[in-house]
A = this chain, B = another copy of it.
Amino acid sequence: MKIGLAQLNLHIGNFNENVTSVAFEIKKAQQFDIDLLVFPELTICGYPPLDLLEHKKFIEDCNRAIQQVSPICTEIGVLIGSPVLNTKPTGKKLYNSVYFLNKGTVQQVFHKTLLPTYDIFDEYRYFESNTDFKLLQFKGKKIAVTICEDLWYDQPVETDFANSRLYTVNPMKKLMDLKPDLIVNLAASPFSYTKIKAKKEIFINNAKKYKLPVIYLNQVGGQTELLFEGGSLVVDAEGKIVKEMEYFQPDSCFIDADALINCRLSEEVNDQDPVEMIHNALIMGIRDYFGKTGFDKAILGLSGGIDSAVTAVLAVRALGSENVHALLLPSQYSSVHSVSDAETISKNLGMNYDVIDIQNIFNQFKTELQPLFKGLPEDITEENIQSRIRSILLMAFSNKFHSILLNTSNKSEAAVGYGTLYGDMAGGLSVLGDVYKTDVYNLAGFINRKKIIIPENSLTKPPSAELKPDQKDTDSLPEYEILDKILQQYIEFKKSIKEIGKTIGDPGMAERVIKLVNQNEYKRYQSPPILRISSKAFGAGRRMPLVARY
C-alpha cells in the first residue's frame, strides 16, 4: 500500500484555490498509483479559520468544496480535514474532522477528540470533542486516523505550573483496543523554534509506546501571525524517523506502508540550526502575509540599527529587492553613521531608498505646541513626536504606493514598552516582534555568515533610539543579555519575580523589568500582528487584562 503525503500551504476561506491545490495533488497521486493520499488538518478551509466557523455560509462552503473533491477520488482513498456539523441536540455546533473519500463519495468521517484550548489555540470555542472511536479499514490495513492534538495526550510543558496531561481521555488508548496497523495524524501544528525537538519526540514516543508507525502530516505556510513549518514526519514502529519533509515550503512524498510497518525504511535526518529556522520561518511569514492579503510591496524605516537592517534583509529575501523600499529618516539626534550604515545596507540589498530629514517637521510641531507646553522641559513627549513623525512619513509612502509598512521592533523592546505607540510600534506586520534582541544579533550573524550584508558598525554600536542627545538603550534598560534572560523566564516560563531575581542574582532588577512588562500591556494591545516563532509570543496567544494591578 502506497501512502502519499501532501504538505500544502492553504489560504483560509479561499475555497477555489484550496480545492484546486487539493485536486492537483490527487491527480498527481493517481499517476503515481498512490492508494491513500493524506492532507493536513482543516485543509479545505485553511487553519485557523477562527470565527469564520460561526458563519453558516462558511460551513456550507466547506461542504460544497468537499463535494467538489469527492468525485475525483474514485480509485484513490483521500483523508482530508474539514469542519463537520454536529447534528446532535447538545454540544458545540461543529467537529474538527477528517473525511475519508473513496469511490467518488464520502465513505467515513473521523472527529478530533483532544481540542487544544491554550496559547494560540481556541478549538473548544468552536468544536465538540469526539466520543466515537473507530479505525479506517482500507486495502487490508487498519489505520488509526488522528487529528493533531489527539497524539498530544502526554505533552511537554515549559512551566512548572502547567499540567502535562490536559485531557481526561486518551484517544490513542481507545483506538488501540481496535488493533490498528499504523497511525496517521493530520495536523496544523505551528512553529516554535524551541519546540522542534519536543515535537519530534511526540511522534517518536507515540510510535514506541504503541509499537506502531506514525505518519504525521503538518500544514505549511504563514497564516497572519502563525507560522506552520511543515516538516511532516514518518516514524517507524521502532520510533525511528524515516522521512522528514521540507521545512517552510510545500512538499509531497509517498511511502510504502508495508515497508514502514516492517521497519524497512530509512533516511538520514539532521537537526537544523534554530537560528536558520527562525530566519526561514520569518521569510515565509512575510511572503505569505503579503501573498495572502494581495500585496507585493513593503516599505520600512531604516535607522542604521540592527533591527531594521535584519528586517530589511528578511523582507528582500521574502519579496525581492524590487518590492522593498526604505525610508531613511534622520533627525538632529541621529548619529553620524546612521544614514551611511542604512545606505550601505540598502545598496548591499539592491533596495531603493529615500532620505527625508524630519527636523523641519519636528520644529513645526514644537512651534505649534509651544503655547501649550511653554515653560515645560522637554521629555519623553518630544521623543515620541519624532518617532510618530517617522511613522506618518512611512504610512504616507505606504498609502501612496500601496505598500505594507513592516514594523522593525524586537520582542525585548515590545516587552518593556521601549517603543512609541503609533511611532516605531506602527506597521502592518511585525517581523521581529517575537525575536529577542540577543536573537536579532544571532540572525544578523547568520545573515552575514558568508558575506557582509549588514555593516559591522550596525552590529557593534551600542543600541540606541536616537531620540535625544547621546541616548543609549542601556540608559533605561539593563544590558540585553540580562534583559532577555529575565523576559524569557517571565514570559515563556512564567517564573515569579522572586525566582527570576534569584536566577539572575539581582532581585531589584527582576522586579523593575517585570513591572515594565506588566505596565506596558496597553501598548502591546495595539501592536500589529507579530510573526510567531517562540512558544509564547505577544498577541493572540498571550491574553492579559490591561486594568490588572499585578
User: Which A residues are within 8 Å of any B CB, using their own CB?
Assistant: 11-14, 17, 46, 48-52, 54-59, 86, 89-93, 117-118, 122, 124-125, 159-163, 165-168, 222-224, 288-289, 292-293, 354, 356-358, 360-361, 364-365, 367-369, 371-373, 376, 379-381, 384-385, 388-389, 391-393, 395-397, 399-400, 421-422, 426, 428, 494, 496-498, 522, 525-529, 540, 542-550
Contacts and interface: CB of A to CB of B under 8 A. Distances in A.
A163 B389 CA distance: 49
Contact of A545 (B57, B224, B354, B384): B224
8 contacts: A12-B547, A13-B549, A50-B544, A56-B496, A90-B163, A356-B372, A360-B368, A388-B392
Contacts of A356: 368-369, 372
A346 B223 CA distance: 46
Given A56-B159, A90-B167, A93-B161, 6 more contacts: A52-B550, A54-B162, A86-B163, A357-B368, A379-B399, A388-B392
A88 B374 CA distance: 64
Contact of A426 (B55, B167, B422, B545): B422
Contacts of A49: 545, 548
Contact of A52 (B90, B421, B544): B544
B361 A14 contact: no
A384 B388 contact: no
A215 to B, nearest CB: 27
B399 A380 contact: yes
A379 B399 CA distance: 9
* Copies of this subunit: 2
Contacts of A384: 395-396, 399
Nearest to A369: B396
A395 B388 contact: yes
A381 B397 CA distance: 8
Contacts of A426: 421-422
A421 B392 contact: no
**Most chain B Cβ neighbours within 10 Å, of A494, A522, A526:** A526
B56 A161 contact: yes
Nearest to A526: B526
A496 to B, nearest CB: 4
A57 B168 contact: no
A168 to B, nearest CB: 5
B376 A354 contact: no
Contact of A224 (B48, B160, B161, B546): B546
Contacts of A497: 57
A549 B494 contact: no
A55 B494 contact: yes
A361 B360 CA distance: 9
Nearest to A325: B372
Contacts of A168: 90-91
B525 A528 contact: yes
Contacts of A525: 528-529
Contacts of A288: 547
A12 B54 CA distance: 30
Contacts of A381: 396, 399-400
Contacts of A118: 125
B379 A354 contact: no
Contacts of A546: 224, 289, 293, 529
B380 A354 contact: no
Contacts of A54: 159, 161-162, 494
A329 to B, nearest CB: 10
Contacts of A396: 365, 369, 373, 381, 384-385
Contacts of A369: 356, 393, 396
B12 A51 contact: no
Given A91-B163, A365-B396, A549-B11, A543 B360 contact: no
Contacts of A165: 89-91
B167 A91 contact: yes
A526 to B, nearest CB: 5
A46 B371 CA distance: 43
A372 B326 CA distance: 12
Nearest to A355: B371
Given A396-B384, A526-B526, A527-B526, A368 B372 contact: no
Given A13-B548, A51-B544, A549-B13, A93 B162 contact: yes
A484 B521 CA distance: 32
Nearest to A294: B549
A522 B224 CA distance: 10
A457 to B, nearest CB: 27
A497 B392 CA distance: 36
Contacts of A293: 522, 546-547
Given A56-B160, A90-B165, A224 B547 contact: yes
A540 B545 CA distance: 11
A17 B549 contact: yes
